[in-house]
Amino acid sequence: MNLEMGLIQQQTMKLVMTQQLRQAISLLQYSSLELSEYIEAQALENPLLDIGDSNRDEVIRDSPVLWQDREESSGEQGKDPFIDRLGNERQGLTVHLMDQLRMLDCREKTKEQLEYFIHNIDENGYLIVNEQEAAIELGITPDRFHELSAILQHFDPLGVGARSLSECLLLQLQALPEEHPVIETIVRHYLQAFAGKKWKWLAEEMQITLEEIQEAHDFIQTLNPRPAQGFSESEAEYIMPDVYIEKHNGEWAVILNDDSLPKIRLNRQYRNLLHQKSDKETFDYAHSKYKQLVWLLKSIDQRQQTIRAVTEAIVEYQPNFLESGELRPMTLKHIAERADVHESTVSRTTNGKYVQTPRGCYELKAFFSKGVSGNAGEDVSASMVKQSIRCWIEQENKQKPISDQKIADRFKQDEGIKISRRAIAKYRDELNIPASSKRKRFA
């Protein structure tokens, strides 16, 4: 065994994670909103980078064609985001309650105390301040606290100002023209057992039939457990698709939505720094910032082209979904091979990116699903399995609902798909469908 020391020349190849490469990877996984915020942050750090109307863009040497003349020549503008022109018609709950308070005929001191209550209502419409806190802040007695709460609870919407779910439902029941003594008793004293479907015990406890409890259940479903639903304190946020899929001349086309990103141009006031060779320090600084700007443009262009390539691969793999809504089982590997990129690149590209299709707006990663082995040797997507589960449960006899095991047996017998009871329970939970014992009706 030779253990002598010596100098050996050896040539190797390895990937070095440079700052530019790290930036390109980060931009790829950014959503459109995150990328816009990143570009705006870069504009604050780089005096040569300016965000403005692309019709007046200063041509940047060595920059991708995408950002020089796409707006004038390539037509990659996507669609006019008409949703941004819609007004925000949702009124905040606080404003709604304050409008009613101004119309209330009462003393000014009472209005000030009720205003304190209004500002202590949560997003669901419940009063979150208690007697002790109100006594400290307002200097009122417990009796005065309940008096003010009662006034607030007469405001619209029904149930606002309640301190619990039971009280919220009772306020709505008491506002009805007819009385419901059985339902009020359940809501007041047995709501927890009622929600837990302990109906047989409840029927014996209240000396009523299961059919009456079923009727109470159906009626309670018509009440609103969140009185503030429909009110919003902030403006509605809309999804801006990164890419569109449309059919042109019988072929599916992928169109990038460049309008979702800020337009980058070279700042006119600072571009003269690139020509001041007399001041070497200023010249070097300007050129370093110029290189950062060019690299940013290339990274954004690479991001857009990767999104296009991945989306085109998805369209090639999922034509049946675009035509009929049938989703094939698809993995990252399937798309990586078609787009000629690594699986991690596909993962970064599809996360947080949205596509507008003729069937609606979806996140790109929504097209990926594992398959279940079918009888003919072909995989069936999990979404198709969920669709079958939902359909069968909707058609079941509600007095004798089918169990997860019976659903698994039905898949094996009718569809030739072998699937476990545990998997059925998992898919059912994802569909927000309760177990068979919770779905059973007695009338």
Q: Are 220 and 159 in contact (CB under 8 A)?
A: no
CA distance 67 to 60: 9
CA distance 307 to 339: 10
Domain 371-439, CATH homologous superfamily name and number? Homeodomain-like (1.10.10.60)
Question: E strand or H helix at 261, and its extent?
Answer: none
On average, the pLDDT of the chain sits at 83
Residues paired with 248 in a beta bridge? 251
pLDDT per position as a tens digit, 62-98: 545 434 433 333 344 444 444 443 444 446 889 999 9
pLDDT per position as a tens digit, 332-378: 999 999 999 999 999 999 988 999 999 889 999 888 877 666 655 55
Assessment of whether the complete model's pTM goes beyond 0.85 = no
The residue assigned the tokens 């619990």 is 164
CA distance 6 to 1: 15
Please tell me the predicted confidence (pLDDT) of residue 66: 38
* Neighbouring C-beta atoms of residue 222, cutoff 10 Å: 7
- Provide the token pair at 172: 């709505």
Alpha helix locations (H) across 165-252? 165-174, 181-189, 191-195, 199-206, 210-220
One-letter amino acid at 240 equals: M
pLDDT per position as a tens digit, 85-133: 344 444 688 999 999 999 999 999 999 999 999 999 998 999 999 999 9
CA distance 115 to 27: 47
CA distance 356 to 363: 9
Kindly report whether the peptide bond that precedes residue 157 is cis, defined as omega within 30 degrees of 0: yes
- Where do the structural domains in the chain lie, given as residue ranges? 19-79+240-366, 93-220, 371-439
Please tell me the predicted confidence (pLDDT) of residue 238: 74
- 259 confidence band (pLDDT: 50, 70, 90): confident
Order of all β-strands in the sheet with 251-256: 251-256, 243-248, 354-357, 360-363
CA nearest to 244, candidates 359, 328, 86, 367: 359
- 279 confidence band (pLDDT: 50, 70, 90): confident
CA distance 234 to 247: 37
CA distance 208 to 190: 13
**Stretch among 42-46, 245-249, 414-418 having the lowest mean pLDDT:** 414-418
One-letter amino acid at 44 equals: L
